[in-house]
Structures are given as C-alpha cells and as structure tokens.
C-alpha cells in the first residue's frame, strides 16, 4: 500500500535554501516543515 501526501517542490538559490533550512531547524514558523532536502531542492509535505 502506498501512502500519498500533498507536497511542494521548491527550487531556489543556495542562500534562500540556507534560510529555509535555518527557519525549519529553529522552528521559527511554529513547526518543522522540510521533510527532505535534495541538493538544491526542498520537499514540503504539509
């Protein structure tokens, strides 16, 4: 059985990627939102 979740693939430059990872790790937005970082891609399954 496959579990499917809605997600967003974000492409950005390294500086924005670093900011998004920092916001995720510090839980500035209230909770973690990055599921997997793929090189310069961030997959969001919220």
Indicate the Cα dihedral angle 24, 34, 17, 13, nearest 10°. Answer: -150
The pLDDT, as a whole number, for residue 11 is 80
pLDDT tens digits, 1-46: 778 777 788 888 888 888 988 998 998 888 888 777 776 555 566 6
pTM confidence score = 0.62
- Residue 16 forms part of a structural domain: yes
* pLDDT value for 39: 66
Domain count, the chain: 1
Q: Is 23 within a domain?
A: yes
Q: What is the pLDDT of residue 26?
A: 93
Q: What angle do CA 41, 2, 25 make, to 5 degrees?
A: 35
In this structure, what CATH number is given to the domain that contains residue 23? Answer: 3.30.70.1220
Tell me which residue range forms the domain holding 30. 8-44
Is residue 3 assigned to a domain?
Answer: no
The sheet with strand 41-44 has its strands ordered as 8-11, 41-44, 36-38
The answer to the question of residue 2 being in a domain is no
In a domain, 38, yes or no: yes
Position 1 in a domain: no
DSSP 10: E
H helices of 1-46, in order, are 14-26
pLDDT of residue 8: 81
């Amino acid at each position: 059985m496959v579990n499917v979740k809605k997600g967003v693939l974000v492409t950005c430059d390294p500086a924005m990627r670093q900011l998004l990872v920092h916001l995720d790790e510090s839980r500035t937005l209230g909770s973690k939102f990055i599921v997997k970082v793929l090189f310069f891609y961030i997959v969001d399954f919220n």
